[in-house]
Amino acid sequence: MRSDPFDRPLDAMLERLRVHGITYGRPGTEIDRWVTSCAVCGQPMMLHEPYLGSPVTVRCSAGCHESRVVRALAAEPHRYDEGLDLAEDASAAAWRALDLLEQACR
């Protein structure tokens, strides 16, 4: 049985970056490296996957220890206000839709 090609340490790391809203990309044509921002300090950070499925090396340009970066990414993001704003926006949109529907039915 073949393993899932997306079940790799790198994929888990990139998923956690997305959860935290941190963007990432590749530096040029290097397929084994990714650049992003450190989840601890916000400075540039490099992710390196030497070969497919290998452990990911994390190097923060400001020197944050890899274990701190991994812990920060493993934690749930602190965006409670953002979630509340989204809920309020959706609620306001729903009320506006009801108002428009009521007006159209008159």
Q: What would the pLDDT profile of 64-97 be if each residue is shown by its tens digit?
A: 999 999 999 999 887 655 555 666 666 666 677 7
pLDDT of amino acid 17: 92
pLDDT of amino acid 91: 67
User: 59: Cβ–Cβ under 8 A, 6 or more apart, which residues?
Assistant: 45, 46, 48, 66
Using one digit for the tens of pLDDT, what is the confidence trace for 4-14?
655 788 989 99
pLDDT of amino acid 3: 61
What CA–CA distance (Å, rounded) separates 84 from 73? 22
Q: How far apart are the first and last CA of the chain?
A: 63
What CA–CA distance (Å, rounded) separates 5 from 67? 25
- Between 86 and 24, where is the model more confident? 24
* Entry pTM: 0.67
Using one digit for the tens of pLDDT, what is the confidence trace for 33-61?
999 999 999 999 999 999 888 999 999 99
